[in-house]
Amino acid sequence: MANSSIPTVDISPFLRQGDENGRKEALKIIGQACSEYGFFKIVNHGVPLELMRKAFEHSRTFFDYPDEEKHKCSAASGAPLPAGYSRQPAHSPDKNEYLLVFPPGSGFNVYPRNPPGYREVIEEIFSHMTKIGSVVENIINECLGLPPNFLKEYNHDRSWDFMAALRYFPATETENNGITEHEDGNSITLVFQDEAGGLELRKNGVWIPVPPAEGTIVVNISDVIQVLSNNKFKSATHRVVRQEGKSRHSYAFFYNLEGDKWVEPLSQFAKDIGEAPKYRGFQFKEYQQLRLRNKTHPPSKPEDVIHITHYAITN
């Protein structure tokens, strides 16, 4: 696979019966993309284009409101992060603001009153993303050769999924960081972005732009899958670069894992095949808390920032 081509996969064969060849072809491409990049794009996923457009239209309107209006829907606190509107603290190198939502009906959510209809759009998007997360999880399950529904049963609690509507400010003359390079700590992340661009993925030390394509959803394999698969599938390193003269909007949905879950390389990818586990086991919430500390108490030395390598077995 060439460095510059992140594959785009039609996932409709997984949403209906009868296209065995389409399924096989998609599984091949996704399996390869997950082991090389940890990143691929999907189309024909079932989210209506009109809904995706509406979601951007509403977030543009919302984030353009004065701060006072946006702060009307900020939760004072919450675990693991406060729901509703937040802006990165001034000291953060990440220059964005966002609206955080937990599963509709979870009781944590603080929705904007304006623009009218935004809440309904967010809830509809959330429910589509949850379905797609489950479809993609099943695809990953099959690509990894796990018993049917293995990941679904392992990760059965949907209460910890969350989604952020993000707005990145335009770049300044001296500064263009939107989100510093990172890997996501959850299981699978789904992102869709507007036409501004700026999402980049690192492969073999080279940053590859992920150009916007309307209606396309980016799938990002995250740390939990990397650990379970004992590094067979990669947790993608990515970042967002801010653009000159324009804001960027995106939606990032984090298919997550319940905090009490134990995460360690599955025996299928370690003991059973005579390979040493590349990570020691950990409880998911411990890792989440350490990652949160990276943000609330940023270490002065970059090497002290906690990544999944914190659990890596190096000998």
Ligand X SMILES: O=C(O)CCC(=O)C(=O)O
Which residues are near ligand X by CB under 6 A? 164, 166, 179, 184, 191, 193, 199, 238, 240, 250, 252
Choose the contact partner of 250 out of Fe ion, ligand X, none; CB within 5 to 8 A by kind. ligand X
Nearer to ligand X, 28 or 295 (CB): 295
Nearer to ligand X, 179 or 266 (CB): 179
Distance of CA 21 to the CA centre of its chain: 29
Nearer to ligand X, 96 or 109 (CB): 96
Q: How far is Cα 6 from Cα 37, in angstroms, rounded to an integer?
A: 8
Nearer to ligand X, 193 or 230 (CB): 193
Choose the contact partner of 199 out of Fe ion, ligand X, none; CB within 5 to 8 A by kind. ligand X
- From residue 196, how far is each of 82, 93, 108, 127, 137 by CA, in Å? 27, 20, 31, 25, 29
Q: Least distance in Å: CB of 219 to Fe ion? A: 12
Choose the contact partner of 256 out of Fe ion, ligand X, none; CB within 5 to 8 A by kind. none
Q: Are the CB atoms for 136 and 219 separated by under 8 Å?
A: yes
Q: Least distance in Å: CB of 40 to ligand X? A: 15
Q: Least distance in Å: CB of 191 to Fe ion? A: 8
Q: Least distance in Å: CB of 254 to Fe ion? A: 8
Q: Which residues, 6+ apart, have CB-to-CB distance to 164 below 8 Å?
A: 98, 99, 100, 101, 251, 252, 254
Residues of the shown chain interacting with Fe ion in the complex, contacts defined by CB under 5 A? 184
Q: Least distance in Å: CB of 178 to ligand X? A: 7
- As a three-state string, the secondary structure of 236-292 is CCEEEECCECCCEEEEEEEECCCCCCEECCCHHHCHHHCCCCCECCEEHHHHHHHHH
Q: Are the CB atoms for 85 and 93 separated by under 8 Å?
A: no
Count of CB atoms situated within 10 Å of the CB of 3? 11
Choose the contact partner of 193 out of ligand X, Fe ion, none; CB within 5 to 8 A by kind. ligand X
Choose the contact partner of 191 out of Fe ion, ligand X, none; CB within 5 to 8 A by kind. ligand X
Q: Are the CB atoms for 24 and 14 separated by under 8 Å?
A: no
Nearer to ligand X, 200 or 258 (CB): 200
Choose the contact partner of 132 out of ligand X, Fe ion, none; CB within 5 to 8 A by kind. none
Nearer to Fe ion, 184 or 194 (CB): 184
Nearer to ligand X, 99 or 166 (CB): 166
Q: Least distance in Å: CB of 189 to Fe ion? A: 6
Q: Least distance in Å: CB of 268 to ligand X? A: 28
Nearer to ligand X, 73 or 81 (CB): 81
Q: Least distance in Å: CB of 182 to Fe ion? A: 6
- From residue 154, how far is each of 15, 49, 272 by CA, in Å? 22, 32, 19
Q: Please give the helix or strand (H or E) that residue 9 lies within, else none.
A: strand 8-10
- For residue 110, give the nearest of 99, 121, 124, 120 by alpha carbon: 99
Choose the contact partner of 230 out of Fe ion, ligand X, none; CB within 5 to 8 A by kind. none
- For residue 145, give the nearest of 38, 269, 36 by alpha carbon: 269
Q: Which residues, 6+ apart, have CB-to-CB distance to 1 below 8 Å?
A: 7, 32, 33, 36, 37
Choose the contact partner of 240 out of Fe ion, ligand X, none; CB within 5 to 8 A by kind. ligand X
- For residue 284, give the nearest of 222, 220, 224, 221 by alpha carbon: 224
